[in-house]
Amino acid sequence: MDDESPGAPVEDRRAILRDSLGVGIATGTYGVSFGAVAVASGLDVLQTCALSLLMFTGASQFAMVGVIASGGSPWAGTSTALLLGTRNTLYGLRLAPLLGFRGWRRAAAAQVLIDESTAMSVTRRTRAGARTGFLATGVSIFVLWNLATLIGAVAGEAIGDPRDYGLDAAVGAAFLALLWPRLDRPLHQVVAVLAAAVALGVVPFTAAGVPVLVAAGVALLVGVLPIGTPPDIAPDDPPGHQHQAGSS
């Protein structure tokens, strides 16, 4: 992957840079909604900003505050966030040979390994192109996402009872918008409906936050079943790309 073909032109990298910054700006700004939703869930501004700085993976962050908002223990939120964060491991597995980062560069790059940075780099043919897409997307989202989180959190705290503004409904909408681009396959639709049903089925009997973890069992069960479909991850099908389509 690291052989630069002679035809890998400079303007190619400029185009990658431009596209990556476009995705970065579009995605980073919705940190406003995370900031607003997080303080509506009962976190303070500092905790909200810490999540964006340190956790920095949108779905996990929304999950964490969503579980807390529904009255769940913060640790149930942590578990859900970690389960959602496992997909970044898979992205990393696919990107590692392409990016070829070592040492401190790898440690730094890991923090911006998310849906969008994966999507903008996994399809590149050269290492330089992949690194450009990965870093431009990842770093621009990191900067803007954190700025936007702060703005959303401060604004959210200033406005009073979040329910008056429907911000509790905004959390569900955010999850749905993250889920939406993944519902492109029948298997995913079945899993989504089953998981929602299972979660609601156990709500009356379990502590808040637990139903979501129980629903992850649906993914385990269906994933282990030998259904006659090819593996869901194909080289020309970057998973982050679908998410990006829904969030930008």
Partner 1 sequence: MTWAAILAGALGCYLLKLAGLSVPPRVLDHPVVSRVADLIPVALLAALVAVQVVATDSGGLALDARAIGLGAAVLLLVVRAPFLVVVFGAALVAALARLL
Q: Which of residues 15-44 bind partner 1 (CB under 8 A)?
A: 26-27, 29-30, 32-33, 37, 43
Name the minimum Å distance from CB 181 to partner 1: 9
Alpha-carbon distance of 88 to 198, in angstroms, equals 25
* DSSP labels, 140-201: HHHHHHHHHHHHHHHHHHHT--GGGGTHHHHHHHHHHHHHGGGTTSHHHHHHHHHHHHHHHH
Name the minimum Å distance from CB 90 to partner 1: 5
Q: Cα 206 vs. chain centroid, distance in angstroms?
A: 27
Alpha-carbon distance of 181 to 176, in angstroms, equals 9
Question: For residue 176, what are the contacts with CB-CB under 8 A and spacing of at least 6?
Answer: none
Name the minimum Å distance from CB 222 to partner 1: 6
Among 47, 123, 147, 241, binds partner 1 (CB under 8 A): 47
Among 122, 135, 153, 218, binds partner 1 (CB under 8 A): 218
Among 16, 35, 62, 135, binds partner 1 (CB under 8 A): 62
Among 1, 143, 155, 233, binds partner 1 (CB under 8 A): 233
Count the residues of the shown chain that bind partner 1, applying the rule CB under 8 A: 110
Instruction: Determine if residue 103 is left, alpha or beta; phi over 0 gives left, psi from -120 to 50 gives alpha, anything else beta.
Output: left
Instruction: Determine if residue 166 is left, alpha or beta; phi over 0 gives left, psi from -120 to 50 gives alpha, anything else beta.
Output: left
Residue 220 binds partner 1, judged by CB under 8 A: yes
Among 224, 228, 235, 236, binds partner 1 (CB under 8 A): 224
Task: Give me the residue label for tokens 């379990």.
Answer: 206
Residue 71 binds partner 1, judged by CB under 8 A: yes
- Of 79-118, binders to partner 1 (CB under 8 A) are 80-97, 99, 101, 106-107, 109-111, 113
Alpha-carbon distance of 241 to 144, in angstroms, equals 19
Alpha-carbon distance of 123 to 53, in angstroms, equals 27
- Of 131-190, binders to partner 1 (CB under 8 A) are 163-180, 182-183, 187-188
Among 16, 21, 39, 59, binds partner 1 (CB under 8 A): 59
Of 8 and 154, CB closest to partner 1: 154
